[in-house]
Amino acid sequence: MDFQLTEDQEALRDGVRSFCEGRVSIDALRELEKTGFDRELWGELAEMGVFSLRQSEDAGGVGLGSADAVLVFEELGRCLAPGPVTWSHLAADLVDGAATGECVVGGIDLSRTNSDPLLIEHLEHIDALLVLRPDGIERIDPKALSGRAIERPLDPFTPVHEVAELPAGERLGDAEAAARFRLEGAALASGMLLGIAEASQELATDYAKKREQFGRPIGGFQALKHKLADCYTRQELARAAAYAAGATLDDPEVGDVLRAVSTAKVLTGDAAMENARACVQIHGGMGYTWEVPAHYYLKRIWVLENQFGTVGEHAERVAERIAVGD
């Protein structure tokens, strides 16, 4: 596969990055932490085509593919874009108003059977809730749910409610549609994890160049050089995997889609987590405070690692595909 970006893809990436740097800065997120959600920002993301990106032009969308979507979600990950952006993007053809941002769509993945509590993200801000089950996709009215707000959610930009049970919802898709939804969601989450891996590495490198100790930048010491080189290597390996997942979704003839997406989730999850931890360590004592954005990255990684299949589940799938020779 050729992962060199085309001129159009570079323009798409640069346009989204420019928007994010101006509109979703860390300072803006600190303000957003007080309110939890910004409808105006959501509308601007919709106008930019984030939610209609892969919707066909006949349906009013942009008509791009999964490879392009991974690029866009890489930038959304870099800036820690708030809100259920992945669910709303995936729901563009399922829920009226999702593509235009008029309907904010959240979701919960119940594809695997376990005894975990039912945690709904952004419950107070969504207009529709999608439930992924092994046998299909359902839509539930969030207003029909009552839940207990978690006082201190792991990610300050991802408010969470615990609900006791979910009522039966309107059926929107069968088991095949649910499996496809989950697969595409994992690829987009991988794109966001890649963006965080990059942002963490760049934040750590920038600090290592500026912070001086013993009369010289700390980045000049060999121990930190090696740590930052490892961050960059992990990031580029993750990039290849994330881009391959998007390209394989667009053209399944070029490879094994399940293996490509699961590999991307594993490698981007590892790169994001290790780079964020390195970023905290390189910042020293200051790195353990909220003053440094590294903590925001770390919290979001824990959320993304568990969306659309955990990193452990995807690692098991890769092993299974290798074992059967696919």
Q: Per-residue pLDDT tens for 290-300?
A: 888 899 999 99
Within 10 A of 325 (CB to CB), how many other CB atoms are there?
5
* Per-residue model confidence (pLDDT) at position 124: 93
pTM of the model: 0.95
Q: For 18-49, how does the pLDDT look when each residue is reduced to its tens digit (9 = 90+)? A: 999 999 988 888 888 877 789 999 999 999 99
One-letter amino acid of 251: D
Calpha distance 161→122 (Å, rounded): 8
Flag whether pLDDT at 326 surpasses 80: no
**HSE on the CB side for 44, CA within 13 Å?**
13
Sign of CA dihedral 82, 84, 89, 95: negative
Match 């970006």 to its residue by tokens. 5
Match 């960059």 to its residue by tokens. 232
Q: For 72-100, how does the pLDDT look when each residue is reduced to its tens digit (9 = 90+)? A: 999 999 999 999 999 999 999 999 999 99
DSSP state letters, 138-179: EEE-GGG--EEEPSS-SSTTS-EEEES-----EEEEEHHHHH
Flag whether pLDDT at 179 surpasses 80: yes
Record the tokens describing residue 123, joined without a space: 């419950």
Calpha distance 32→24 (Å, rounded): 10
Rounded to a whole number of angstroms, the CA Rg of the chain reads 20
Cα→Cα distances 48→19, 117, 276, Å: 9, 35, 29
Match 């290790």 to its residue by tokens. 274
Calpha distance 86→189 (Å, rounded): 8
Average pLDDT of 222-241?
A: 96
* Per-residue model confidence (pLDDT) at position 1: 63
Flag whether pLDDT at 112 surpasses 60: yes
Range name among 90-94, 150-154, 286-290 with the lowest pLDDT average: 286-290
Query: Which residues are within 8 A (CB) of 96 and not within 5 positions of it... i.e. 6 or more apart?
Result: 103
Range name among 32-41, 133-142, 235-244 with the lowest pLDDT average: 32-41
Record the tokens describing residue 33, joined without a space: 């932490």
Query: Which residues are within 8 A (CB) of 176 and not within 5 positions of it... i.e. 6 or more apart?
Result: none
According to DSSP, residue 120 is labeled E
Percent of the chain residues topping a pLDDT of 90: 83
Q: Helix, strand, or coil here: 105?
A: strand
Q: Where are the alpha helices (H) located in the chain, listed in sequence order?
A: 7-23, 26-35, 39-47, 66-78, 85-90, 175-210, 222-250, 257-282, 294-305, 311-323
Cα→Cα distances 240→194, 235, 237, 300, Å: 10, 9, 5, 22
- Residue count of the chain, please give it: 326
Sign of CA dihedral 267, 209, 10, 92: positive
